[in-house]
Structure 1
Amino acid sequence: GGVGAAPDSAAAAPEARRRALTGRSTDRLPTIRPWGPEAVVLAEPVGRDERVSGAVLMHVPTAAARRDVTLRWTLICGAALAAFAAAALVAAGISRWLMRPVLDLDRAVEGLTAGSLQARAGSETGPPELRRLRQHFNTMAEAVSESLARQRDFVADASHQLRNPLATLVLQLENVEPHVAPGPGRAEHVRALDEAERLAELLDGLLALARVESGAAGLRDQDVSRAVRERTTAWAPAFRGAGLELTAAEPQEGLRARALPDAAGRILDALLDNAVKFVPAGGRVEVSAGRADDGGTVVRVADDGPGVPEEQLPLLLRRFTRSPEHQNVRGSGLGLAIADEIARVSGGRLDVGGNTPHGLVVELRLPSS
């Protein structure tokens, strides 16, 4: 007999009874899980010796067993979660330990790529292989920095040392001029004086470029709006004297940038000097300044001169590079290169493009302060 049979156990009762009447006890019970079964059926044969005279059926509730199973499953799941969490924490710690020197190296490489020769990897953590890699990288960066510094020092020293004897040579040529008789000799004397003055300009440009590349001056906050107004006003007489029209739109107020000292003024001087030299008389040059989409500052100088072929535009920012039709124009070929270097060291850039329908457009982009 039995009491409170559940549907599952009631369905299993006939089979259990049949087995018990054949002399076999219940040797298999269903798996007990937290959600069931609610009861199980147990059957035992009744008789003497080999003779079976009946069977005893019991419907046993599984509530206590299910609570025990639930408790054990909870403990097992809790232990598994704790183990997984501990493993995740250990893995995260190991990952940070391994990745910290890698990220430090990445920042140092990015700094070197951007032109900061003082960038070094400083992390002391990580496995021995990464620590050795950091040491080798710093050694390489130091060697590259020293090599570039020696080159720049040589250019600066050579330019500086040559300026004095060259200035003396120019002075002597000027003093000799009254004693040169008119004729072929006077013409050769004038050409020699022009070449000496051109060489002096070249040395001044090399010295200025070396100073910019050395990065000796730190970045400072500056008023770009004011620099644009002052430089366009200062250059107006030179443009009138060259027969050019210089128009300057009132720059947007509050344009500020963090760059080398007077970077905007120095670069604008180079761009306007370039326009005076290469834009024919009767041409027009427009200067404007405003806010860039990324929050930085854009200073734009556009002219309607002959411009240069599109394939030669990337060459204009290189040192000593000039278009073939401008080879005889006075200058050192370093103006735009120096301006580009000032912009780069300041964290910005100089973009050169063609104007419509003809001419040249140069844009100076500086990061906001």
Structure 2
Amino acid sequence: MNSRLVVTFTTLIVFLIAALAVPLGLAYASHRTNRLLLDRRADATRFAELADQAAREADYSGLTAEITRYADLYGAAVRVRDRDGAVRVTAGRFDADDRDATRLAMSGRTTEDLPMMTPFGPASVLLAEPAGRDAQLSGVVLLQAPTDQARQDVWLVWGALAVGALIALTYSTLVARQLARWILRPVAELDRTTQAIAQGRLDARAHPGAGPSELRRLEERFNAMADAVAGAMERQRAFVADASHELRTPLTVLGLRLENLEPHLRAEGTAEHAEAMAELDRLALLVADLLALARVEAGADVEGKVVELEPRLATWREVYAAKGVLLVTDISERAVIPEAAARIADIALDNAQKFVPEGGTVTVTLADGVLRVTDDGPGLSEEERAEALGRFWRSGAHANVPGSGLGLAIAAELARACGATLRLLPADPHGLIVELRLPAP
């Protein structure tokens, strides 16, 4: 946007400078052309008077000497024709076509205008002046004058205007850049702030400073909105954390009491008691996961330390061996990853051991900063993978599998907290890949 504003401002400035410089340059060229016309017409008028006198006296010697000196001095060419069109006197190199000018002068009219002088031409101009008065015309004086000095003057003025316009454009562009930066400073500040919030820094705020008052007010209102949203989220997290924490003790007590009731149950109540204990375990797992999610969202359980991955996988090998599932690892013995990434691996391995049937295989790899947990279980469809990272999501085909539906949601929050990217991909020919792309160190 900054570049577009600078281009817009610069374009307007170019039009403004052109609107000032071009008419000024044309006005000077017209003025210099008129000056040349007046100067040379005065000379032509003087020669016309001398030609008229020479025609009456039938002596052109004085006129010849006069126009010869003039042609030598100014580099011009002068030709005098009588009333019949015959050339009486000529001096200098006269190469212009004078037929139209001669007819104009023979009608008693003088040259009133000339082509506008520019640095590129014309190289010479032709003026015609009738000799004599009214119907008593005795001839015509034709003056072909060079325009070198006039064109040079126009060139100097146009060059000065061009240099001035270039200097003005340069300074105006610098001012336009500063103006665009000043206008967009609040926008850039809001962009940095929204990016920081999107990355999980919910305490990031814009810092109103320079810029238009309307955009500064927008920064203040954005900060107020961010405070309100962050406050609401914090209250929500606090409520979930407090409720989960407060529920743990009653659930524990309830579990103990149900266990104490078991010896006093009749045989027909044993099944109902087992179902009640299973539901209690599921509720306790849900509360524990809710508490874990709330702590992750608050950043309480996300630390910057790194851990070795191999010792954690050793524990999972025992679990997988007990279920008849093969756990294959392709990582370095000394490989270390952020603790949040290790917890994501635990969540992925816990899910895999629930869904991979006996005889299946789960593979863990770590290469080029990418951690993958691949299983050959039933996997998920494309629509299910798109929804699986949401809270409380459970596939309809896995309704009878223990779980709270919060595991992958916790993994997604952990990935966001450590700056990683979590994706669910299909395995070939079937199964699921949990891919965690770690940030560059």
Does TM-score exceed 0.5, indicating one fold? yes
Spell out the pairing of 1:329-348 with structure 2 (5 A cutoff).
329-348=401-420
1:198 pairs with 282, 292, 298, which one? 282
Shifted more, 331-340 versus 239-248: the winner is: 331-340
Query: Counterparts of 1:182-193 in structure 2 under 5 Å?
Result: 183-193=267-277
Write the letter of the residue equivalent to 1:247.
V
- What's the secondary structure of 1:264's corresponding residue? helix
- Does 2:236 correspond to 1:151? yes
Match of 2:431 among 340, 346, 359: 359
User: 1:132-152 CA deviation, whole Å, 9 max, x = no partner?
Assistant: 222222111111110010000
| TM-score, scaled to structure 2 | 0.71
State the partner residue of 1:290: 367
Taking only aligned residues, the RMSD between alpha carbons, in angstroms, comes to: 3.2
1:301 aligns with 2:373: yes
CA distances 1:208-231 after superposition (whole Å, capped 9, x unpaired) = 1001111346673747xx42x333
Q: CA deviation at 1:353?
A: 3.3
Asked if 1:316 is matched to 2:388, the reply is yes
Shift of 1:86: 4.3
Amino acid of the structure 1 residue aligned with 2:319? A
Which amino acid is the alignment partner of residue 280 of structure 1?
Answer: P
CA displacement 1:165-198 (0-9 Å, x = unmatched): 3334434555x27844673455544444443333
Secondary structure at the counterpart of residue 388 of structure 2 = helix
Q: CA offsets, 1:40-65, max 9 Å, x none? A: 33343334786333444333222221
Counterpart pick for 1:248 among 329, 345, 363? 329
Q: Who is 1:130 aligned against?
A: 215
**Equivalent of 2:127 in 42, 46, 63:** 42
| Cα distance between partner residues in 1 of 2:262 and 2:139 | 148
Contact 1:9 1:41 survives alignment (8 Å): no
User: For 2:177 and 2:210, how far apart are their aligned partners in 1?
Assistant: 15
Q: Is the 8 A contact 1:300 1:364 kept in 2?
A: yes
SS class of match (2:187) = helix
Is the contact between residue 262 and residue 273 of structure 2 (CA under 8 Å) also seen in structure 1?
no
Cα distance in 1, alignment partners of residues 300 and 108 from structure 2: 103
Partner of 1:266: 343
- Greater C-alpha radius of gyration: 2
Is the alpha carbon distance of 1:249 and 1:8 closer, same or farther for their aligned partners in structure 2, counting shifts above 3 Å? Answer: farther
Q: 2 CA distance for matches of 1:14 and 1:219? A: 100
Q: What letter is aligned with 1:357?
A: P
Gaps of 5+ in 1: 292-296
1:242-263 CA distance string (max 9 Å, x none): 111001123599886xxxx501
Residues of 2 paired with 1:165 and 1:151: CA distance? 22
- SS where residue 132 of structure 1 aligns? helix
For the 8 Å contact 1:351–1:363, the answer to whether it is kept is: yes
5+ unaligned residues in a row in structure 2: which ranges? 1-66, 78-91
Higher normalized helix content (fraction of residues): 2
Segment drifting more, 317-326 vs 65-74: 317-326
Give the direction of change, closer, same or farther, for the CA distance of 1:40–1:309 in structure 2 (3 Å limit).
Answer: closer
Distance 1:198 1:41 in 2: 109
**Kept after mapping to 2: 8 A contact 1:35/1:66:** yes
Are 2:294 and 1:213 equivalent residues in the alignment?
A: no
Change (3 A) 1:326 1:18: closer
Q: Separation in 2 of the partners of 1:336 and 1:318?
A: 7
Once residues 265 and 134 of structure 2 are traced to their aligned partners in structure 1, the CA distance between those partners, rounded to angstroms, is: 154
> Does the CA-based 8 Å contact 2:348-2:373 persist in structure 1?
yes
The equivalent of 2:421 in structure 1 is 349
